Amino acid sequence: MPNTPPHNVPERFLNRELSWLAFNRRVVEEAEDSRHPLLERVRFLSIAAANLDEFFTVRVASLHAQEAGGSGPGDDGLTPARQLAAIRQEAPGLFAVQQNAWRVLRQEMADHRIPLLKTCELDASDLAHLEEHFMTEIYPLLTPVAVDPAHPFPFVANGHLALALLLHDPRMNKDIHAMVVMPRGVPRFLRLPRPDGEAGFVMLERTVQHFLPNLFPGFTVRESGFFRVLRDSEIDVQDDIQDQDNEDLTQSFERALRRRARGRVVLLTVNASMPEPLRGFLIERLDAAHEDVLLQHGLQGLADARQLIVADERPDLVFRPHQPHSNAVIQGFTQDAFATLRQGDLLLHHPYESFDLVINFLRQAAEDPFVLSIRQTLYRTGDDSPVVQALIAAAQNGKSVTAMVELKARFDEEANIHWARSLENAGVQVVYGFVSMKTHAKITLVVRREEGLLRSYAHFGTGNYHIGTARSYADLSFLTCDPELMADAMQMFNYMTGTAIPQPLRKASLAPLTLRTRLVELIEAEAQAARAGQPCGIWAKMNALVDPDIIDCLYRASQAGVPIELMIRGLCCLRPGVPGLSPTIRVSSMVGRFLEHSRILAFGHGHALPSPHALVFLSSADWMQRNFDRRVETLIPITHPDLHQRILREILTANLRDQRQTWLLHADGGYRKQAREGFCAHAHFLTGGGDATTD
C-alpha cells in the first residue's frame, strides 16, 4: 500500500491521461481473451487502436497546446510537460501490446481460413487477379511524387498511411526522395478469390509496394518504409465567431474543420525497419519532434483491422445475435406510445431492449394528427439517421419541430452540419445552442392536444440518438409524461434555444446551472447521515470521474464512513481504498461485449442500498469539470416504484456483482481483473435480467 496522500496535496488524484491509457489497456485485454469469439477479439483490438489514435489527436494535442501556452500544473501536480513525458514513457508499451495481440490474432485468423497474405505467398492466379485489381481500382487513384524543388512534399492527412522512398534514377545517375500516399476510399485489405469459401486478404500498402515499377518505371528502390501521421484534431471556433458576428455558425465550423485537417503532427509512426536517413527526411519535412516519433513493428493503423470482420460469412466467429426483450408494456408502447405513458413511466435498457422503440416513439409523434410540436436535442446521430428522418417527416406533416443540433460533437461535426441543413430545408427550426458550451443533454419533448388540453411527453436518455451505437452501448431511456418533469423539460429547451436562465426546476437538475450543486448536496447528505450513525450509501455509475471538487467531496464522505461503490468504465482520478483518505470507496470498471455507457446515481437517503427509499437518478453527465461547467447536461430523478427498484436491484446490483468482466482499481492506480469466471452482468441481461440480488 503506498503512503497515504495528504488531503491538501495533488497526489490524492491519479493523472487522467495515464488513467485513460490504463483503460485502453483493459480494452486490449479483451482482444487477448480467448473466451471471446475470434472476430470479436479483432473488433476489440480495432476499438483499442482507434481509441489510442483519438487520445493522441485530442488529449496529447491539448497537452502540447497547454505547454506552449505556459499552463501550470494540473490537479494532480503534473505540468503539461511532465504529463507528455509520462505518456511518451507509457504509450510505446501499449502500442507494443497491441501489436503482440495482433500477431496472435493474425495467426488464429489464418488457422480459421481467414488469412492475411503477403504478396510473396500468392500463386500465379492470385497475382494475376491482384494485378488486374491494382491497375483498374487502385492505380488510377495513386499520385507518385518525386520530392524536389518542383514537386513539394505531399500533404498526408490525419490517420493516413504513406510510403516513403529513396529511389535511384539511372538516367540522371542520382538518388531522389519519393512518396506515395495510400488512396482514400479504397479498402485497406483487398479480398482475393479463394477456394472453398476461404476469406483471403492482402494489404493495400503491400500491393502498392509490389507494383511500384508501374509507378516509377526504370527506378531502383534503395530505401523504403511506411509511415502514418496523427494530427492535432482540436477545434476552436470562438475567435472566428467573434470576428464574424453575423456569420452562420456552420460556416465557422466548416472553416475550423479545414484548419483541423492540416493540424500539426502529434505522432509520427514509422516502420521499425525504415533506414534512419529516410526517417530523418520524414521528420524534417513533416516538422515532427523527434520525441513524437514511434518506431513500430507490425501493422500501422490497427483500427482498420475491423475490415477483416467477415461476420456474415463466419457467424461462428462472432457473438451470437441477441433478440431484444419484449413484454406486454413494450408491445403496447409500440402500438400507442402515448396511451402507454399515460398509464405510467417506461424504462428501456438498451441494447437488451431495442432502441427502435425510441425511434418508433418519434415516428408516432411525427404521424399523430394530435401532436402539435416536437423538440429534440441532437448530439451524435450517425450517417443515416432515422431520428432525423422522423423530425423531417414531422415538419412535412405540418408540426412545429425544433432541433437543437450540437455542432461541437467531436468528429461528428461534418455529419451534424449536413443534418442541420437537411432539417432546415424541411422546415425544421434548427438552433445551435451555446458557442462556449456543448449541449450534451439527450431530451425529446412532444406536445399533444388531448381532450381540448395540451399534454407533454418526454424522452430522457443517458446515451445518444445514434441507432448504430445503440446496438452496442448499454444505456437507459426514460419516457414519461410526469407534469413536473414536463415543465422542467420545457424550461430546459427554452434555456437552450433562448439562452434565458430558467426559473428553479421542479425535479430535474441542469448543468451548468444547478447540477454540480445538487450533486454536492446529495453526497454531503450521505456524509451527514454517516456522522449521525444512520444507514447510508452511494452507488454511482458513469464513464469518467475527473472533477477534483467532486472527488474531494467523495473523500470527505468516505472519511465520514459512507460506503461508496463507483462503477467507472473509463478514466478515474480518484484513489480508492487509501486509509484516512478513501477507506470506504471501491472503484470497478466493466469492459465486455457491450460498452457500459449509462450514467446512474443512487443515494441511500437514510437507508442502506439497495432500498426502496433511496434517491435514484439518470444523467447525461460524467463527473468531469467540462460536464458540470461547460456543457448542458441533465440529472433526472426516477420515482416510479417499479422503475426505481429495477434500476437498483437489477441493473446496478448486476453491475456490482459482475466478476467476469470487471476490474478493480487499487490505490496505486493499477487495475486488477476480478476473475475469469463467475457472475457475468451482460449474460444476465441477455437472458432477461431480473432481480440480481437474488439471482
Query: What are the C-alpha distances in Å from 604 to residues 514, 582, 608, 629?
Result: 21, 18, 5, 26
Phi-psi region of 227 (alpha: psi -120 to 50; beta: other; left: phi over 0): beta
Q: Which residues contact 465 (CB under 8 A, 6 or more apart)?
A: 358, 376, 377, 378, 379, 380, 381, 385, 387, 442
Q: Which residues contact 190 (CB under 8 A, 6 or more apart)?
A: 130, 133, 201, 202, 203, 204, 207
Look at strands 400-405 and 371-378 and give their pairing.
parallel
What count of Cα atoms within 13 Å lies in the side-chain half-sphere of residue 694? 3
Q: Which of 283, 250, 291, 262 is nearest to 57 (CA)?
A: 262
Query: What are the C-alpha distances in Å from 79 to residues 32, 54, 63, 66, 68?
Result: 34, 21, 9, 9, 12
Catalytic residue among 440, 459, 605, 684: 440
φ, ψ at 35 (rounded to 5°): -70, -20
Look at strands 585-590 and 662-665 and give their pairing.
antiparallel
Q: Which of 373, 375, 504, 515 is nearest to 433 (CA)?
A: 375
Beta carbons of 353 and 325 less than 8 angstroms apart: yes
Peptide bond into 351 cis (omega under 30): yes
How many whole angstroms separate alpha carbon 674 and alpha carbon 652?
17
Beta carbons of 443 and 463 less than 8 angstroms apart: no
How many whole angstroms separate alpha carbon 599 and alpha carbon 616?
11
How many whole angstroms separate alpha carbon 64 and alpha carbon 413?
23
Catalytic-residue membership of 440: yes
DSSP 66: H
DSSP 331: H
Q: Which of 303, 329, 372, 334 is nearest to 98 (CA)?
A: 303
β-sheet bridge partners, residue 511: 633
Catalytic residues: 440
